Amino acid sequence: MTTIHPSAIVESGAQLGADCEIMAHAIVTKHCVLGDRVVVHPFAVIGGDPQYLKFDCATDAGVRIGVGTVLREHVTINRSIHAGKATVVGENCFLMAASHVAHDCELGSNVVLANAALLAGHVSVGDHTFLGGGAAVHQFCRIGESVMVAGHASITRDVPHFTMVAERDDVIGFNAVGLKRRGFSRGAIAELKAAFHDVYFTPGNIRDVAAARLAAGAFEAAEAKRFLEFFAGGKRSFARPRRAKEENEN
């Protein structure tokens, strides 16, 4: 049974799944579609207008929240700026207090945003990714699958799958703990490490190096192939290890 607590606001037209809980003073606008078992804590605002100066409030755009997702106090999720489109948060995500998801973001499943993590517009975040407290992500960036973003990190470039990133776009290695918790095999992790070294420490354009390794069939593990495929997409440059940045500059 879905529960709407006193002083909560659920606008006419909002769609709530089974067994949702909307706590006191939370706001769910008419533009929202919530899956089953979504919990919205006090003072969260879901489906508010995007913070975009040219936005027409009459635009028919929305927000979709996946099954089992929890939105803590003061979380804000803005609706899309495009008619017929939606800002999307996947299943079983956990958005901690005061985190923000701007218009047209797409979050996968099992994503965690720690307190005050901030996503600008059009950011995509892969499954099983964790963003530390106060981390901020520039618009149009892609954050891959099973990525660990350190607290207070500033992300202005794309971050490949299965990595850890800190400070300003500094890749500091693989998310080894996260990969082991997900049950990745030793063989897959070994191939990922080799692919990581090839891409980042082989001279040449990083996209070209990744494409060449993929075309050559250098790796068998599906995870290593996904890592390489990441470099074929996106419009921004890529976060890199600090040593690779220094070698490239020299």
**Would you name the residues annotated as active-site residues?**
103-104, 121
**Helical axes 222-230 vs 206-215, angle rounded to 10°:** 150
Q: Are 2 and 14 in contact (CB under 8 A)?
A: no
Query: Rounded CA gap, 159 and 184, in Å?
Result: 20
Residue 134 exposed, middle or buried by CB count within 10 Å (0-12, 13-18, 19+): middle
Structure tokens at 41: 């804590």
Segment (H or E) for 142: strand 142-143
**What does the alpha-carbon distance between residue 211 and residue 112 come to, in Å, rounded to a whole number?**
31
For 208, the enclosing helix (H) or strand (E) is helix 206-215
Cβ(230)–Cβ(236) under 8 Å? no
What does the DSSP 8-state code read for residue 236?
S
Residue 140 CA to its chain's centroid (Å)? 11
